[in-house]
Amino acid sequence: MKTRLKKKLAKKARAGAANQLSSQSTPVASASLIATECWRIRKMLPEFADNKKFLVLQSSVERMISELSRIGIEIEDPEQCEFREGMTLRVALFEETTSLAAGKKMISETLEPAIYLNDRLVNQAKVIVSVGTGDE
């Protein structure tokens, strides 16, 4: 997918999360937003591997995620999983690709992870699904 479209979808997701938090300012909504932002930072960390402070930041993010886990908040990233109809997630875009066999569907990118609180889904993952058009 084009970088510009990805940036636009990510910007909409961040704006939606901010609006969602202001409209439902509950502890669960706040914890879900914090977990999502920790996931987002962890996902972007490899881009900063050359920075001297990389290990410090990585350690801090991992401690935050560990602490969230300790209080019952789990972050699930479905990226690279096979997509099946009926999955509990929001699809932002279906994108055709020749790199997959015809009809095969894979979650190619996660825009927001699924967030669970004490094994209960509180925020559905938002994803981009690649649909195969190649040879079988």
- The predicted structure's pLDDT at residue 135: 73
Annotated domain spans of the chain: 3-134
| CA 79 – CA 129 distance, rounded (Å) | 9
Q: pLDDT at position 44, please?
A: 94
pLDDT tens-digit series, residues 89-114: 999 999 999 999 999 999 999 999 99
Cβ–Cβ < 8 Å for 113, 75: yes
Residue 112 CA to residue 42 CA, distance in Å, equals: 12
Q: Which residues of the chain have pLDDT under 70?
A: 1-8, 12-13, 16-24, 136
Q: pTM, whole model, 2 decimals?
A: 0.78
The reported pLDDT for the residue numbered 21 is 47
